[in-house]
Amino acid sequence: MFTIRAGVLDVAVERHGDPSGASVVLLHGFPYDTRAYDDVARLLADAGRDVVVPYLRGFGGTRFTDRATMRSGEQAALAHDLRELVTALKLNKPIVAGYDWGGRAACAVAALWPEEVSGLVSVSGYLIQDIDAANSRPAPPHLEKRYWYQYYLHSERGRAGLTEYRAEIAQTLWTDWSPTWRFGDSEFGATAASFDNPDFVDVVVHSYRHRYGLEPGDPAYATTQDALAAQPEITVPTIVIDPTEDTVAGLYGASDHDAHFTDLVDVRALDCGHNPPQELPGHFADAILTL
């Protein structure tokens, strides 16, 4: 692992494979970390790819360079982090792939700066948030209950709970969101250390408040957030992975992929939960190699 200055962050990065090969950036979600991609990275490296796996802001060894920088978890911030990392590493039009927060960052970069990437693998499809719709269109109760953790974090009680029980909350979400995945204590423990990042709680709480319009975003990203609010199409070659056993991201649905992606190479249903790269790494790697 090494650290590289990229925008407002010193990003902790794991890199595998052939630096002269075609580049792939693998982006984890919440509450996970780069361990989700250990097997995927090995498979891609064996295939001759240059594999870059960063820790997102608020996770692992990634740190803000300035104490005054807002600890934002908004989608526009994640998009800029990814774009700045691609620039800092001088990657040539990498494929970007991710799920949850990481998938959102990948979708945002592919939508706003398509000339900078060569393809996209996105779990659950189009992950760019429509914040106005989130505020005005409540879902049926049997779907709303899936987001209990987000509503919990809207309160200061939730912030205190995440501070004290960050690992316990994460393990609960892993279990709930991937009911068919039998991960062990050691497997979870290898990731849990990443939640001890000093900015973890602030970034996570801001993310889940901003997406409902409860807190303002970082003014530095206002223009980008405005562009994302328009729900831009994604024009780069894309493979969507739809997990059949995911009990939270099922809210996104599979019926509207064609409306958001103009170059949809494939939609692949996988029998797994919320974390496909760790649950079915061979299938996830194959989607990337297909592009």
Q: Which amino acid is at 138?
A: P
pLDDT beyond 80 at 92: yes
Please check the confidence at residue 248 and state whether its pLDDT lies above 70: yes
Answer whether residue 18 shows pLDDT above 60. yes
- Does residue 253 have a pLDDT over 60? no
Burial code (b: 16+ CB inside 10 Å, e: under 16) for 235-265 equals: ebbbbbbbbebbebbbebeeeebeebbeeeb
pLDDT tier at 71, thresholds 50, 70, 90: very high
- Look up the pTM and report it: 0.97
Residue type, 114: P
pLDDT reported for residue 197: 98
CA 77 to chain centre: 12
Whether 216 has a pLDDT exceeding 70, the answer reads yes
Segment 218-225 shows an average pLDDT of 98
pLDDT at 254: 60
Closest CA to 75 of 217, 232, 215: 217
- High-pLDDT (> 90) share of the chain, %: 93
pLDDT at 126: 96
Query: Average pLDDT of 195-204?
Result: 98
pLDDT value at position 256?
Answer: 82
What's the mean pLDDT when you consider all of the chain?
Answer: 96
